[in-house]
Chain A
Amino acid sequence: MFLDFFIFELRREGISIGMQDVLTFYRGLSRGLVANLDELYLYARLCFIRYPRDNDLYDRIFLRYFQGIDIPAVAEDDLALLETKQFRQWLKQAIEEHRFEIHPHFMPLEELMKKFWQTVREQMEAHHGGAKWVGTGGKSPFGHSGSSRGGVRVFGGARNFSAMKVAGERRYVNYSEDKSLRHDTMRAALAQLKHLKPEGAESILDIDESIRKSALSGGEIELVFKRELRDKLDVLLFIDNGGSSMLPYVSQTRQLFSKMKRELKSLRVFYFHNTIYSYVFRDPARTQPYSLQKLLKEKDDIRVFIIGDANMAPSELLSAYGNINLGEEETESSLYWLERIRERFRHTVWLNPMRRDMWPSASMTLRRIAEIFPMEEMTLGGIRRAVERLNRS
């Protein structure tokens, strides 16, 4: 069955699909819910996609499988496009066919990217308006008949709706896991953070105790109240806000934690420059030092997030007197203090705004720090994994 292969394709790309989902899907088909490709697009998405973060992936697999259009997994303004195999293929082909007036080597990157997306759009439009679905290698059931659009409709709900158009708009690309954080993904990131396990208490009527007490006092009713479970989460946040290396990430980081501040009441934020020594700072300008020793005496179940690119001169991390800030000489190396933090707080994670594929080319300090703390990149997926780790540890 051709649809089986589509489902296999979704699974192969990492979308979790259970037997139940597949059964539901086929039950719907047998009830005549799907009469054309547009309805198939909607119905399969309802059956198989649970998280907005998978929507873009679904759109791309759908377009590739049924339309033979392979769209790279990046947003239109993302420079990462240049790294994708689709872009390279397109470029190679375009050069071979002499489609450029000047050699692409001399063209501004933006223009190249624009040309690429233009080609993609043209390709999609050709399919959209065309009478037949091409490029699927005969796998598409709708390809044989030559026209699925305007065919028999079992129900008319999908009027004016085009899977091609919606999938092509890529409305969900900003929810994909490997996108770095943006305003509209902040909410999803926050939701991840809230997965941190809650503990604690407030007040509700304790029925068992009330009955017992009432019985003891000869039937005279006595109401007993007890404390209720509540979110009681202590979070410590250390943010690297110094140095030009962190500059591109500072606003991103700030947005995330300014939201966190409202969601979690017990959140304290400290700042540091490049790495942590015997004290951190209470203000972004780093004028109010706070002793790390004091923090290390706090409860060991505090959740600790450290946010920084972990990129610095090796001596800053490794040697005593390594602090580069004038007048802040230290007798212990930063490494010593980082290890103290790790030893004290069981739930610690380092979030790195730098993309993971850049890590190997970063300073050796990054690898050294990643040996001490679990390190994740500051993307939706990274934050999800970080929170999972915090809950496990």
Chain B
Amino acid sequence: MNSPVPEFQSTGRYYLSAELAAIVNMAIKMEKPLLLTGEPGTGKTQLAFEIAKSFGLPMEILRAKSTFKGEEACYVQDTVLRLNDARFGVGDSGRDVQNFFDYIIWGPIGRAFLLDKKVVLLLDEIDKTESDVQDNLLDVLEDCQFTIRETNTVVKAKHRPIIIITSNAKRELSDPFLRRCFCHHIAFPTPEEMREIVRLHLPDTDPGLVQSAMDVFYELRRRGYEKAPATSELLAYIEALKHAGVTELDIHNLPFPGILLKRTEDLLAYRKSAHR
């Protein structure tokens, strides 16, 4: 084993539960990718940034899209440029049309593996990709390597990155993919945790105001709107209340309900229930 790894700890405004801190440290020690699932607003993506900050490591980020093929996460070949060079000559660019590697563009995973330093590699919202993309990433997760198909070259990470993967559960991930990760589902913050989160972000807020905003917040969540308000909405809401100088809240007649409820149907449903 390597030299002792320092512990991951929260810095600044990010609320880190003892449970999550322990899990991150376990994943780092076991060199396993950590897959985080959970509702939006539970701080999944933010966690990766916090880890990088805590250890002072650079980051590589892959933001997944549904049109994503998987290979471009590692590398792409600039075919058009190569075709162009083949036709019109390379000029004084120094490229060699015969050399495949002159036309390679590294993706986030490729860059993370080639760097001479440990990095935090974030694969964000991996559930947006098709399952064959996830299959393509299996080697990356298991052995920290991938193969350049065109030349059959294996690229292996110089330093095993800390891999953090997030998923919003848009679709379920494949079994082999899950098998290669440590999986953790972040539960929505309890009121006590939420109070702590608010305190970290808006330190000088009147506790009474925080309490009434939180009561409203959890009540609206309980009502089961299509898009339930999440942490960021609560923070924005409290800030708006502070600006407007509101001190008391009535659940039936809220100021700026649009900050908490974003969907038209939800807002209409709220108004209807308020005027009953």
Contacts and interface: CB of A to CB of B under 8 A. Distances in A.
A228 interface: yes
Given A49-B183, A191-B169, A31 B23 contact: no
B152 to A, nearest CB: 18
Given A155-B7, A191-B170, A33 B228 contact: no
Interface string A133-156: 000000000000000000000011
A interface, size bucket = 35 or more
Contacts of B170: 190-191, 194
A50 B179 contact: yes
Contact of B172 (A49, A157, A192): A192
B184 interface: yes
A159 B21 CA distance: 9
A191 B172 contact: yes
A46 B83 contact: no
B26 interface: yes
A96 to B, nearest CB: 37
Contacts of A55: 185
B37 interface: yes
Contact of B23 (A21, A46, A191): A46
Interface in B166-207: 168-172, 175, 178-179, 182-185, 187, 190
A219 interface: yes
A156 B7 contact: yes
B80 interface: yes
Contacts of B79: 205, 207, 210
Contacts of B178: 50-51
Interface SS, B side: mixed
Given A183-B224, A219-B87, A46 B7 contact: no
Contacts of A20: 179
Contacts of B172: 51, 191-192, 194-195
Interface in A206-242: 207, 210-211, 214, 219-221, 223, 228-229, 231
Contacts of A195: 171-172
Given A50-B179, A219-B87, A42 B7 contact: no
Nearest to A229: B130
Contact of A42 (B22, B37, B39): B22
A258 interface: yes
A50 B33 CA distance: 13
A265 to B, nearest CB: 13
Contact of A188 (B18, B169, B175): B169
Interface in A33-75: 33, 39, 42-43, 45-47, 49-52, 55
B87 A221 contact: yes
Interface residues of B, number: 45
Contacts of A47: 182
A195 B131 CA distance: 9
B171 A194 contact: yes
A124 B32 CA distance: 33
A88 interface: no
Contacts of B228: 183
A160 B18 contact: yes
A33 B19 contact: no
A50 B183 contact: yes
B83 A210 contact: yes
A183 B222 CA distance: 9
Nearest to B79: A207
Given A49-B183, A175-B185, A214-B87, 16 more contacts: A18-B179, A28-B30, A31-B1, A33-B26, A46-B26, A46-B182, A47-B182, A50-B175, A157-B7, A158-B18, A158-B22, A161-B17, A182-B224, A187-B169, A191-B169, A221-B83
Interface of B: 1, 7-8, 17-19, 21-27, 29-30, 32, 37, 39, 66-67, 79-80, 83-84, 86-87, 127, 130, 168-172, 175, 178-179, 182-185, 187, 190, 224, 226, 228
Interface of A: 18, 20-21, 24, 27-28, 31, 33, 39, 42-43, 45-47, 49-52, 55, 155-161, 166, 169, 171-172, 175, 182-184, 187-188, 190-192, 194-195, 198, 202, 205, 207, 210-211, 214, 219-221, 223, 228-229, 231, 255, 258-259
5 contacts: A24-B32, A50-B178, A51-B178, A219-B86, A223-B80
